[in-house]
Amino acid sequence: MYLREVKVWNFRNLERVHLTLEERCIFILGDNAQGKSNFLEALFLLARGYSPQGARGEEMIRFGEEIASVSAKIVEEGEYFVKEVILRRNGSREWRLNGKRERKWEPIWLVGYFPEDFAIVGGAPKDRRDFLNQAISLVYPPYDRFLKSYEKIVERRNLLLREGGPEELLPVYTEKMINLGSQIVEWRVQYLRTFTPILSEVYRMIFGEGELEVQYESLGYRWEEGIGEGLRKAHRELEREEFVRGMTLFGPHRDEITLLLRGKEVRDFASQGEKKGIALSLRLAEMRMIKRMKKSRVILLLDDLFSEFDTQRRELILRGVNGEGQVFVTTTEREMTQKAVREFSALVLFMTAGKMSQRSQGFL
């Protein structure tokens, strides 16, 4: 799968972008604040259905305009289809497939690494849960439906704990929460069993040292002894405290995904450079998981890739992703871009003030 043609209209500072592309490594070169990241955000939105920065639709529309759109001609197994998203100032979105409204939204197999991904490694537990939830939902859509149902049940249960209500309702919501939560934890654990060795392999490829591990840590129960029974036991032990605090104190919405490097927790002991390398490794491992589960090549976005990595690491990263499919890399570094052109036959796009071109006089 790759993007053959891309059109972006009134997205952030991108007034008009129209590109014809190939399935290879594509460098987007330009100074800071020119629109490079905005272009990758547009591609991510089209593919995954949301902004990697968590922006609302109206925030992504060019100042002074009412409508923005992103569309792409996508080639898959020798055939193509056209996917489009239209954003309106009132907050509405319209998804189209081959010019017609999509009855059921379908993703494009794309993974993006952005500077915000640093929070997955160094941020709060919710950041790691979000990463895992989004990764599983992409390859297995029923998981997303179960997760949303679970979140609604927890919200209603919290309301009952805070404000009271018919006594017979709380046990009903508790049992529904445990049943849905058991399936969510089971999906997470199964995904991580396959994901963890892939992540370790990717990290060794780039850094060549240090064992990187992922552990699923349940809060208030032990999933290893049976998820459903563990959740019920946690409910019995925490029931009184829940009434005091007015909130649900157990379940997958409170669990942690712990990253360990050389046996130590990454969030507390890893350097800034190591954390960025681990964040990148998480995204590259996610890409390999999609490729493995969906038997498809995956489009890869790498935003501001080279900061905090030395020359050796940069070359290892490029060698690792070159040939994987269509890869977009944004950078301000001219020398590294020239090297990618010479060694990997990379295509270079030049971004200046929201305008993109494929030619720059005297570049090489």
The Cα 311–Cα 126 span in angstroms is 33
**Three-state secondary structure string covering the chain:** CEEEEEEEEEECCEEEEEEECCCCEEEEECCCCCCHHHHHHHHHHHHHCCCCCCCCHHHHECCCCCEEEEEEEEEECCEEEEEEEEEECCCCEEEEECCEECCCCCCCCEEEECHHHHHHHHCCHHHHHHHHHHHHHHHCHHHHHHHHHHHHHHHHHHHHHHHCCCCCHHHHHHHHHHHHHHHHHHHHHHHHHHHHHHHHHHHHHHHCCCCEEEEEECCCCCHHHCHHHHHHHHHHHHHHHHHHHCCCCCCCCCCEEEEEECCEEHHHHCCHHHHHHHHHHHHHHHHHHHHHHHCCCCEEEECCCCCCCCHHHHHHHHHHHCCCCCEEEEECCHHHHHHHHHHHCCEEEEEECCEEECCCCCCC
At residue 20, φ and ψ (nearest 5 deg) are -110, 125
Which CATH number, 3.90.226.10, 3.40.50.620, 1.20.1050.90, 3.40.1190.20, labels domain 116-295?
Answer: 1.20.1050.90
Q: Which pLDDT score is estimated for 14? A: 95
Q: Which pLDDT score is estimated for 360? A: 56
Q: Identify the burial level of 351 via C-beta atoms within 10 angstroms of its C-beta, where 0-12 means exposed, 13-18 middle and 19 or more buried.
A: buried
Tens digit of each residue's pLDDT, the chain (364 residues): 899 999 999 999 999 999 999 999 999 999 998 999 999 999 999 999 999 999 999 999 999 999 999 999 999 888 999 999 999 999 899 999 999 998 888 899 999 999 999 999 999 999 999 999 999 999 999 999 999 999 999 999 999 999 887 878 999 999 999 999 999 999 999 999 999 999 999 998 888 777 889 999 987 777 677 899 999 999 999 999 999 999 999 999 999 999 998 889 998 888 888 888 899 999 999 999 999 999 999 999 999 888 778 888 888 888 888 777 899 999 998 888 888 888 888 899 999 999 998 865 556 5
**Distance, CA of 130 to chain centre:** 9
At residue 66, φ and ψ (nearest 5 deg) are -105, -20
Which residues pair with residue 347 across a beta bridge? 26
Q: Which pLDDT score is estimated for 88? A: 95
Q: Which residues contact 363 (CB under 8 A, 6 or more apart)?
A: 334, 338, 348
